[in-house]
Amino acid sequence: MLRTIIRTFTINSNYNFYRSIKLPNSSIFLQKRFQNLYIANKSQEENVHINLNSNRFTYRTYNCEQLRLQNVGEKVTLCGWLEYQRMNKFLVIRDGYGHTQLIIPDKNEELQRLIKSLPYESIIEVYGTVLSRPRDMINSKQTTGEIEVLIESLAVLNRACDDLPFNLREFQKAKEALRMKYRYIDLRFPEMQRNLRFRSKFIMDVSNFLVNECSFVNVETPTLFKKTPGGAQEFIVPTRFPGEFYSLVQSPQQFKQMLMAGGIDRYFQIAHCYRDEGSRSDRQPEFAQLDIEMSFTNVEGVTGLIEEMLQLCWPSFLKPLPKTFSKLSYKEAIEMYGTDKPDTSFDFTIKNCTDILKKNTNLYSTVDFGAYYLIFKNPYNRLPKSVKNQLNLLTENYSETKFIQSNIINAAEWTTKMSNLLGSNIAAELQSNIPITDNSVVFLALGNRSHVLQLLGAVRLEYIKFLESEGHKIKDGCVHPLWVIDFPLFEEGIEPGTLQSAHHPFTAPHPDDAHLLEISPKKVRALAYDLVLNGHEIAGGSIRIHNRKEQEFILQLLNIDKSLLQHHLDMLESGCPPHGGIAIGLDRLLAVMLNTQSIRDVIAFPKTFEGRDPITSAPSPITDHDKKLYHLEVATKSRL
C-alpha cells in the first residue's frame, strides 16, 4: 500500500508551498543537528566525494552517492536533478556527489504522467524506500549500482526550462564558449565537481599543514593599494577624490614584507591578485596565489617547507612525489633544456657541440656562438615530412640560427652529407662524439648560443609530443618537481643599456656575487628560486633584501625613483628581520595535479582569454552617476 503524493509547483496556485512542506522525516535533520558525524581523514583522502556530513542542516537524508546495500529497507529523502528517465518506470536523479536510480511504482499513472512532462534538469525531492536491485539490473560501474529507491512521494522543487543550452550527459560535446556562458550548468558535470571539490580539499590540507604543523599565521592583506614601481601593469580604481586612484595589487609582496617587520614571522594567505596583461591565453586578470613568507630563513628553509607541504598534501590518485626535489641552476637549465622551466619528466637533454663546430670559423659570425643538438635513437627515429615542416616553423623567431633536421638511416652517409656543410673533419668528429648511429634522428642548431638553446628547447617538446602521438610512452606518468635556482638578478631592460629585475626589485643578490653588483651587475645571481613541475612554472620566490642601503642601491641600478618606495625603505630600517618567501600559482598547480586542458577548468568562474566575464560579458559601460562620482570622462578613440 503505497502512499504516493505528487506535488507540482504552480506559481499562481501555491506560491511558496515548498518552504512549508512537512516532509515525513523533516525533523530528522533537526534531531541530528548536534550529532557529530566526524569522518576520519583517511576516508576523506580516499574519496573526496563521500561524506556523510553532507546532509546536516538540510532536508535530505542522503546525497545521491551514498546509498548502498546496507541501506536496504530504509526510508530516505533525496534531492537532486532529474537526469534521465526511461519506460516511465526508471528515473535517474543526480547531485554533486553522484547518481541514484529511482523507480516509479506500477500503475501510478499520475506520477508517470508528471515525470513524462517534466524537463530533464528539474529539481525534485523524493521520499521512498531503498530496495536492492534484481541481480541482472546491478550496475557495478556505479557506486549506488546495487540499490534503487522506490518512490513514495515526489515533489518538483523547481522546474527547469525545456531548452537548456547543452546536454548534461555529454561533457565532451559541449563547446567551451557555451560551457563558460552557462557555467552554472557546466559545473554540474562530474569533471567540474571533481575539480572544484579537490581544489577545496587541497587548500584545506595546505592550510592545516601550514597552521597546525608549522605555526603559520593566515593574514588577509588589502588589494586596494598604491602602484608598485617596476612591476606588471596594474588595474586602477578611481575614487571620490578627484584624479586619485588605487591600484589593485599584483601580489601582497610589500604587505608580507611589512608583516615580517611587524613580527608575524610566519605568514601565509590564499591571496587574491590582479594583473592587467591584456589578452593572453591561460592567464587570468585575477588569480589566486598561495603566498608564503618567513623570517630568519634561507633558500633551503623555503624550498624545504614547500617540498614537505607538497609531499603531504599530494593527491592520493597521483604517484607520490620524490623525497627531495632536484635542484638545477638557471644556467644548467638553459644549457640542458633551452628553457628556465624544463620538463624533466623525460630525458633527451640538449647536448653541446660548440667546441667541435667552433673549429670551422666560416660557420659563425656571432660573438656568442653556440652549437647544440638533440639525438633520438631507434625506436624514436621517425621524422615524417609533416613533422619536419612543423619544427621548421619554430625557427621563425630565430632567423639567424641554422637548424638542421636529419633522419639518419646510415651514419656514414650522414657524415658525408654533412661534410659539405661543416667540413669533413668536423662532420667526422661530430659523428664519433655524439655518437651518431644508424637509424636515428638528429636536430642540430648553430648560431647565437641563447637562440640555439631556446630553439632546441622548443624542438625537444614538440618532437616528444609527436612521438607520444605515435604511441610511444616517453613519460612515466609521474610529476617531476624541479627547483630552478641561481637566476640572474637583472635582465636587460626595454631601453638598451638599462636593467630590470628578473624577479622583482626586492629580491636579494647572491652573497657570493656581491662584489659584482657595481662592476658587472648582469652577472649577479639572485637568491631566487622557481618550482617547475613537468615544464610548468608553479611557484617563484626569493630571499628578500632586508637592509635599507642595499635596497636603495638596487633601486638606483634599476632607475626606480626611491621616493615611490619611501615607506618600504623606512620599514626596512625600523628593524626588519632577514626573510624570504614564495608564491605558488594555485590555478596552475591544480591544473597540473588534475591534468586539465586549461587552468579555466580548475577555476569556478574564469574570465575569457580577452578578460571578459563570459556569463554577463562584463566589463560594461558605466552610468553618468558613476562618471560624476569618480570624476571621470571616457576618452573617445578619436581623441587618443
Q: Report the site for its own copies in 412-431 (rule: CB under 8 A).
A: none
- Name residue 167's amino acid: N
Which residues, 351 to 410, sit near its own copies by CB under 8 A?
A: none
Q: Are 577 and 295 in contact (CB under 8 A)?
A: yes
- Tell me the CA distances in angstroms from 634 to 116, 216, 285, one per residue in order: 55, 45, 22
Closest CA relative to residue 291, chosen from 226, 216, 342: 216
CB of 122 to its own copies, least distance (A): 6
CB of 391 to its own copies, least distance (A): 35
Among 37, 232, 393, 421, binds its own copies (CB under 8 A): 37
Which residues, 205 to 244, sit near its own copies by CB under 8 A?
A: 207-208, 211-227, 233, 235-244
Q: Which three cell numbers stand for residue 42?
A: 583517511
Which residues, 2 to 21, sit near its own copies by CB under 8 A?
A: 9, 11, 15-20
Which residues, 94 to 133, sit near its own copies by CB under 8 A?
A: 95-96, 121-123, 125
Which residues, 535 to 554, sit near its own copies by CB under 8 A?
A: 543, 546-547, 549-550
Q: Are 269 and 254 in contact (CB under 8 A)?
A: no
Among 29, 171, 314, 609, binds its own copies (CB under 8 A): 29
Q: Is 473 in the site for its own copies (CB under 8 A)?
A: no
**Nearer of residues 244 and 491 to its own copies, judged by Cβ:** 244
Closest CA relative to residue 527, chosen from 541, 512, 515, 510: 510
Q: Are 96 and 136 in contact (CB under 8 A)?
A: no
Q: Tell me the longest C-alpha to C-alpha distance in the chain.
A: 98
CB of 220 to its own copies, least distance (A): 5
Which H, E and C letters describe 434-493, residue by residue?
Answer: CCCCCCEEEEEEEEEHHHHHHHHHHHHHHHHHHHHHCCCCCCCCCCCEEEEECCECEEEC
Among 74, 152, 286, 462, binds its own copies (CB under 8 A): 286
Instruction: Count CB-CB contacts under 10 A for residue 341.
Output: 19
Residue 617 burial (10 A CB sphere; 0-12, 13-18, 19+): exposed
- Name residue 494's amino acid: I
Q: What are phi and psi of 129, to 5 degrees?
A: -115, 135
CB of 82 to its own copies, least distance (A): 8
Q: Is 604 in the site for its own copies (CB under 8 A)?
A: yes
CB of 229 to its own copies, least distance (A): 11
Q: Is 458 in the site for its own copies (CB under 8 A)?
A: no
**Nearer of residues 423 and 611 to its own copies, judged by Cβ:** 611
User: By rule CB under 8 A, what string of x and - marks binding of each residue 617-636 to its own copies?
Assistant: -xxxxx---xxxxxxxxxxx
Q: Is 503 in the site for its own copies (CB under 8 A)?
A: no
Binding segment for its own copies (CB under 8 A), chosen from 128-136, 329-337, 383-391, 511-519, is: 511-519
User: By rule CB under 8 A, what string of x and - marks binding of each residue 564-583 to its own copies?
Assistant: ---x--xxxxxxxxx-----
Q: Residue 580 and residue 313: Cα distance in Å, rounded?
A: 22
Among 157, 178, 428, 434, binds its own copies (CB under 8 A): 157
Give the count of residues interacting with its own copies (CB under 8 A): 167
**Nearer of residues 213 and 355 to its own copies, judged by Cβ:** 213
